[in-house]
Each structure stands twice: as structure tokens, then as C-alpha cells.
Structure 1
């Protein structure tokens, strides 16, 4: 009598974390040179296209970013600005390589993080991919979700829009409970924590601000951590060396 063959066990695909990295002031120090150049470019663009003075242009630039998550969305909605023209004008830098600053050993640190890695940025695709290539880390990310990818038909969206993120995660086959957002903008972290995403607030590249006494201060990791932030770190090095990575949902 032949022995009965045991049925093969089905392999269970293990779930792992999916890291959603912001780009500017997260993967590189945009406040050093890139952000000032982008802000100048946006202000000048608004002045030229809308025929307003510098104070009004700055008011619109900042106001639309706060209200919609990106200046572009306000300009498209209220002024009929051509999105492609705006993105190209304000994110093109012939000297971009010299403007970039990033942590030493960036490639090694990112490789040390287990799981999939995706860039999620309100910046345009060409700029984002150029920055990643210049930093030598483009191959470490399976995809870049830029502002053009967040659009639904003629309706432009940006972080921290919740329906946009749900749609983007479905397309990338990412479960919300598997995602970890690494981001410098605490408002984005707050919005997306409500969706079940774990959050890491990176503060090392944030610009310092003047205190009421005239001194300089910056939010220190671990002091006054908002309830919607799972971890606060100064750098990617601190994140990769941490023994308390937010790899599992609360």
C-alpha cells in the first residue's frame, strides 16, 4: 500500500512595511537652497502672470499652500494657470546638483530599512526623479507618486488629500495598515494618521525659527510629540538605527 501523499502547504505571503517617503526636507535638505529657489520662482511666476506686486504674490503663494496643500492647486482653481507651465518654470534648475544636500551614507541607510519604498511628493515628476538620480537613490524606490499622478481627470489634488491617497495606495497595491509615512510636514502626518497609516516626523531639515527673546530654536525630537506622530526623528540615520521602528500598527 502506497503512502498517501500529503497536500502541499500553500505559501503564505508575508506582509511587510511600505515606506512612503516625502522628498523635499525628508530625503534631502531642501531648505538649504532648493526651497528658497522654488519660493522665489513661484513668487516671480505669480507676479508675472497675475500682474500683482511681490507682497500679494507671496500672500497667494503661502495662502494657497496652506489651504490646498500646494500653491499650484490654488492657481489652477482661482486663476486658470497652466499647470504644466507652472511646474516646469518653478522646478527647473540648471545648477540643481550643486544645490542638493543630503545625509552621508543615504543609500546605505535606505537599504537598511525593511520593506517596499515609494516616494510620495507634491513636487512634479521630472524634478523628483532628477533629485533622486542626483542623490544616487532612484533605484531604491519602486515608484514615484508625484503631483501629476495625484490628479483625477481635470481635478488636481495634492497631499494631504485623503481620497487622493486612498486611490494612490490602491494603484500601488498598498494596504493602509502596512504604510509608514516619513514626512517633514506635520499637517500631512496628522491627516493621514486618521487613515490608519503610521507616521514618522523628520525634523532635522526644518528651518530654525527665532524665539521671542531673539534666539534660535527648533522642535527637538521627543519633546511635545503630537499624538498623531508615532516617531519623531532628526534624521534618516536616527530612523534606521532606531530599535523602535513603527513596523506594526498600534
Structure 2
């Protein structure tokens, strides 16, 4: 393995647009459902609903966090609605499963989605047996990445030493708190939304495809 990564014992992965390519456009389906939910909730058109949605996303980390803070939306109702989508745009990725299996140590999914949805995505990708656990939005007490408490809670839940941990994420801003506590960070730069953050000094590695990156680091002497 790449010498710089030899101390890593905990391999932590975001889910959406990280373990599958953004080009699959799965999250577009969720995005559309969130817009529809807001339009129905507030009785507005889809253009206004999307403006509200993105405002909450940028201001609170997730649309749900904003809706909860500003309108006391039931998170279970919201998540059940927006995650009720078909998974047929996703394809099994056995090479990725093989690359993850070769990593030494623990593998954990760290996602702002909920566990039932994450399980469906992982099963569709052929990664259902690849991870020890899914640390989801409910495990974060509904306080999502990039809130610092989400990372502290992850480390506490699994007895993780950040200095021995690597976090892979497509949203660059979600890597900043991980780096602040000592994690090695990998940005999957695949064109997904970045919320206008241009300071990437907290990113250790950048890749356009996580499978290729994992294969490369395992081949490096």
C-alpha cells in the first residue's frame, strides 16, 4: 500500500455520489422528491420550492436540517418520502467490492441518509457485505455532516482514532471537519454540488473514481 496510508485502520466512506458515480444521477431523483415535498408543504411552485430547498441545504448542511430547524418537519416522514425511489440506475460494482475487501482494517459508511435507504443502495451496488456498519442521520441525532458533532459521534460510536482514519466524500465541505480532528481526507471530485467552497487545503487526496484510487493505492509499493 501507499506508504503514507499504512497507519490507516478505519476506512470511512460517504454513500451518495461517492460509492456510485454522480453520472448515475440517482441523487437527482431524491433532489426532485425534496423539491416536490417542499412545494406540497408550502403550497408553492417548483421553482420557489427549489429555491427554499437549496437555501436550507447551504445554510444547514442538508435540506432536512433546515426544514426541521425552521418548520419542525418530521424527519421520518421526510426521509420516507424522498427515499422512495427506484434504484435501477445503479449497477453492481464487483471491482469496487473487491477493492474495498483488500483494505486492511474496518470499513464504515458515514451518510446523511438513513440506514434503510443506505442498505438498498449498498445491496444494489453489490456492497451489502463490504461494510461493518452504516452510521446514518439518526445515529447523528439528526445533526448532519458537516456539523462537528456528527464526526465526534462517529468516532465515539466505533472507538475510532481519527489519526488512524481516512474519510472519502464527494462533498468537499464535509471533509473539512474530518481533517480538523486528524483524519486523512479523500475528495471524490465528480461534479456533485460543492456549496461554493473554494478552500480545499483540508483535502489530502483527490480522485474522480474511488475504485480506481483504491486500486492504485493498493498497487503502490
Structure-2 separation of matches of 1:129 and 1:238:
23
Q: Greater helix percent: which structure?
A: 2
> Do structure 1's residue 128 and structure 2's residue 118 form an aligned pair?
yes
Give structure 2 stretches of 5+ with no counterpart. 1-6
Deviation at 1:149, TM superposition (A): 1.1
Give the structure 1 partner of residue 97 of structure 2: 107
Aligned to 1:241: 215
Separation in 1, partners of 2:62, 2:135: 15
| Cα distance, 1:161–1:102 mapped onto 2, change above 3 Å | farther
User: How much has 1:150 moved relative to structure 2?
Assistant: 0.6
The CA deviation at 1:193 is 0.8
Q: What is the aligned counterpart of 1:85 among 77, 91, 104? A: 77
Q: 2:33 aligns with which of 41, 50, 53?
A: 41
Distance 2:30 2:23 in 1: 10
Q: Which runs of 4+ in 1 moved over 3 A?
A: 101-104
Distance 2:95 2:83 in 1: 26
Alignment of 1:31-180 (within 5 A): 31-93=23-85, 95-96=86-87, 98-101=88-91, 103=93, 105-151=95-141, 156-180=142-166
Deviation at 1:202, TM superposition (A): 1.2
Report the Cα distance in structure 2 between the residues aligned to 1:225 and 1:77, rounded to whole angstroms. Answer: 27
Quote the Cα distance in structure 1 between the aligned partners of 2:58 and 2:91: 26
Specify the alignment match of 1:218 in structure 2. Answer: none
- Output the aligned Cα RMSD: 2.3
Higher RCO structure, 1 or 2 (CA under 8 Å, sep 6+): 2
CA 1:175 to 1:125, structure 2 compared with 1: closer, same or farther past 3 Å?
same
Unpaired runs of 5+ residues, structure 1, are 1-14, 209-223, 246-250
1:53-94 Cα shifts (integer Å, max 9, x gaps): 22221111111111111100111111121111110001012x
Q: Deviations over 1:41-60 (max 9, x none)?
A: 00000010111222221111
TM-score w.r.t. length of structure 2: 0.87
- Report the 3-state secondary structure (helix = DSSP H, G, I; strand = E; otherwise coil) of the residue aligned with 1:55: helix
Report the TM-score, using the length of structure 1 for normalisation: 0.77
Q: Aligned residue pairs: how many?
A: 210
Shift in CA distance, 193/102, structure 1 to aligned 2, threshold 3 Å? farther
Q: Is residue 2:189 matched to residue 1:228?
A: no
Give the Cα–Cα distance (whole angstroms) in 2 for the partners of residues 147 and 27 of structure 1.
Answer: 17
Q: Between Structure 1 and Structure 2, whose CA radius of gyration is higher?
A: 1
Say which is worse superposed, 41-50 or 52-61, in terms of deviation. Answer: 52-61
Superposed CA deviations along residues 10-40 of structure 1, whole A, max 9, x for unmatched, are xxxxx75201100011101244231111111
